[in-house]
Chains A and B, each alone.
Chain A
Amino acid sequence: MTFWVVLTVNSVTFGGLLFLLSAGFSLIFGLMRIPNLTHGSLFMLGAYVGATFLVGLISIKFNFWVAAIVATLVVAAFGALIERLLLRRLPGDQLAQVLVTLGISFMVADFCLMAWGGDPINVTTPDGLGGFMRFGTLTFSLYRLAVIAIAAVVAIGLWMLLDRTRLGAMIRAGVDDPDMARVVGIRVSQLFTIVFALGAGLAAFAGIVGGPILSVYPGLDQDMLPLALVVVILGGTGSLLGSFVGSIIVGFIYNFGQALLPELAYFVLFLPMLLVLIFRPQGLFGRQVP
């Protein structure tokens, strides 16, 4: 019993992290029509930058949450730079844009290896959340519950942003019909930068928040990127609800798969993706792209 409950909590926690990662991926895909292959690297970069500020960089030492926010801002700025300086030069050429993001992902991965070395870095759990919570005979890690709460808050915040604000309406218009959005006076190219920075920041935030659970190590980017891909293929691109449901599904399959079929966990993970591709290629909540 305990085993199953703990596994379920872990699955929801991991699903929450995946949501933070893939919401940005899905928005970028929906708006710019490119899979951002740097997304895993941005996740890893956020984790490394955050961990550096936690340990202390040139006598600057932050508390966990400040470090998380600083890492988010740094990586968001980096994302905006990538969009402005590189992707902007290749308008309309999606293939070239994908290849550029792939090239950058290798550069970031190698840069991280150069800067932080090959040993995994353990990120300490923030103060006050290191303990456990008891329900009868069951114990839960406080931090994992906190991650679920954070993911829920971010999900609600993103939903409010997209559904209730003017910027959100503009992004939705850009996702649905970029040409028509331009015609009515929305500067879609400016939205590209905003959404790219937002997605990069969310990925970095997920990286540092996931740090105490996953730790930070070289290759983390290539572990996370396929998961984001699976989530988005499952849920459908450009749909927040799709990323949410997709993340929870993948979180469950990943954790249960690793516990029950460790050798085939990776394979089992991709099964729902294949099923969706065969029976509903636009994803569970995606709309058919004309």
Chain B
Amino acid sequence: MNAALVRSLALVAAFVALVTLPYWVTGTYYINVSSQILFYAIFALGLNILVGYAGLVSLGHAGLFGIASYVVGYVLAEGFGHAPAILAALVIGLLSTAVFAALSLRATGIGFIMITLALGQIIWGLAYRWISLTGGDNGINLHGRPAPFGLDLSAPSEFYYATLVIFLVTVVAVTIFVRSPFGAALRGTRDQPRRMNALGYHVWAIRFWACLLSGLLTAISGILFVYYTQFISPQTTALTASAEVLLMVIAGGPATLLGPIVGAALVVIVKNVVSGYIERWNFLLGAIFVAIVILMPEGLVPGTARLWRSGWRALRRRQAVVIAGSTEPKP
């Protein structure tokens, strides 16, 4: 049994587990937590395109997430249907991302963090103070979820399946993107921007398109979020929210496909379980952040994968020694 087979078996098992989840997980609470994990995973996958593959750390993504949610809430409150609301959220989400990107790509590295942080705070400030548009601290309430193709999404398991479909499409799309020449070029701009420039790549444009893709996934997860909670308030766009999703990416492992998904599961579960016992979630969030950055900077998924691989190799080495005597597997 080789590693590739193990990998595909694990993928099939994960797929089956996800599809059958509402049958073996009892209680709507846990189905709802699973839906949350899925749409936060889409959000984290979107941020990971920037943080992991482009090397651009954004601390303002909750702002973009919030814009999509607010647009859905606002358009619905104005009396339009679900289709125009979702369409408007996607279009406005992408447009805001374009503005966001155009401004923050003036810098890279630490400068990029500062500008995205400031832009995220602007959106928070607008959501909080522009009361005639956003309802201020009271936020906007939604009434009902859409029913595409006759499937009513108000029930937890139906909403879970709709989220799962979008999640799977996202995972496939991100996988294709990462393996495409464009994904390779993006990683090139992260590692060697000057060389990429000398090779004739337009570094700025590559980063810009990566921002747009990230913004699209962010908007999609924002739409799912607002339909899930049926409520949107400035808290959704706050720095804490941006930091939470960044923690998902960093904890799981940036620049991996599985990392953000595991990170999203970890953060959502810890947040839901822990907030049932203590109210000090923010303190714990900060402590996890500091601990992961100092103890496991590569993230949980690459860290575990390394341990797993070294264990696997040790096993193979032992077998190899028994069978052939001296063949050493390549490191």
Contacts and interface: CB of A to CB of B under 8 A. Distances in A.
A154 B19 CA distance: 64
Nearest to B128: A266
Contacts of B238: 222
B243 interface: yes
Interface residues of B, number: 41
Contacts of B330: none
Contact of A267 (B107, B117, B122, B293): B122
B283 A99 contact: no
Contacts of B297: 93, 96
A103 B289 contact: yes
Contacts of B20: none
Given A106-B282, A106-B286, A281-B107, A263 B243 contact: no
A214 interface: no
Nearest to A89: B294
Interface in B260-303: 280, 282-283, 285-290, 293-294, 297
A262 interface: yes
A20 to B, nearest CB: 20
A281 to B, nearest CB: 5
B129 A264 contact: yes
A107 B280 CA distance: 9
Contacts, number: 118
Secondary structure of the B side of the interface? helix
Given A35-B113, A110-B280, A110-B283, A226 B290 contact: no
Nearest to B126: A267
A94 B109 contact: yes
A225 to B, nearest CB: 8
B293 A229 contact: no
Contacts of A145: none
A94 B112 CA distance: 13
A103 B109 contact: no
A270 interface: yes
Contact of A106 (B109, B111, B114, B285): B285
Given A90-B293, A104-B290, A107-B283, 10 more contacts: A99-B246, A110-B280, A110-B283, A226-B117, A226-B118, A226-B121, A263-B129, A270-B121, A277-B103, A277-B107
